[in-house]
Amino acid sequence: MTSEDTVAVPAGGAARDARSRPGARRRHGPPGEPRNVAYLYILPGFVVLTLFLLAPLAYAVWLSLFAWDGLSPGTWVGLQNYVDVLSDPTLRAPFVHALVLVVFFSVIPVVLGLLAASLLVRSTVRGRGIFQAVVFVPQVIALTVVAVAWKRILAPDGPLNEALRAVGLDGLARGWLGDPSTALVAIGIVGTWLGTGLCTVLFLAGLSRMDRAVYDAARLDGAGFFRETFAISLPSLRNELAVALTLTMVAALRTFDLVYLMTSGGPGGATAVPAYEVYMKSMRQGEVGIGVTIALLLAAFIMLLTVLVNRIPEREEGR
């Protein structure tokens, strides 16, 4: 037996003796154990989340169970407010209007943004950075300014109608925001103008990671612009697509500024949306219970859509 072997045996025995002592601390698992210690790190964030989100949400649910005007004592009505919102056509209409705005705020900008980004990637365009900055400008302008500017553009004597009259299309000129058949579409067009730049920049960032050889090979096979866009670009943008749809859909469903400043829900409720109805019921008409109920249903609807949209990348990765 060598001297090294003689030393190794006592050292191993000493280590086993140290581990077998009653007061010795035994460590198991990865760093961060025990888990109770890890929970202390997330405790501050959980406290803030509880105070500023979960507690107000629970209080809102409690208020939705009362008929209350905001001043006098409320009357318990249980789920009647939910029944009224879901059964009353007048209260359901704002949700239908919100779905129409989703098309203009989300679907159309995503399609236009995809086509614009694919066109910029397909061809060499000088001043591409300037173009990106210009199309993104609507995102940094306050919605109050946007609403006032577009209200002037769409006015009966505004630039749009003046341009139509100048080219001999007097029959198309009208009060766009005062006509029930065009008011909601007019607000939707403003939403399209707002969202297209955001989608374009997001998709450009995603396509910049693509290998140009993929497009060159597709062109050699005879693929045209639209075939490249929907067969190559779109599948590679599943994460950016989920982000763009989430941001634009939430913006559409939460729209309040544009409606309040451009039409005030009119004419005849043609542009009333859930967020505007929450304000009117709670602040103007003294129906806090109904207003809170509309807000909760809107929040639930937004959460549902967000969960469904964010499953797009998961479905693609699972294939």
Cα–Cα nearest to 161, from 149, 174, 151, 150: 174
Q: Which residues contact 292 (CB under 8 A, 6 or more apart)?
A: 60, 63, 64, 81, 278, 282
Q: Which residues contact 238 (CB under 8 A, 6 or more apart)?
A: 312, 313, 316, 317
Q: What DSSP character marks residue 66?
A: E
Could you tell me which residue, 39 or 169, shows the higher pLDDT? Answer: 169
Structural tokens at position 9 = 């045996």
Structural tokens at position 55 = 């507690």
Confidence of residue 31 (pLDDT cuts 50, 70, 90): low
Whole-angstrom Cα distance, residue 68 to residue 287? 6
8 Å CB contact between 189 and 262: no
The per-residue pLDDT for 25 is: 52
Of all residues in the chain, the percent with pLDDT exceeding 70 is 86
Structural tokens at position 18 = 């140290």
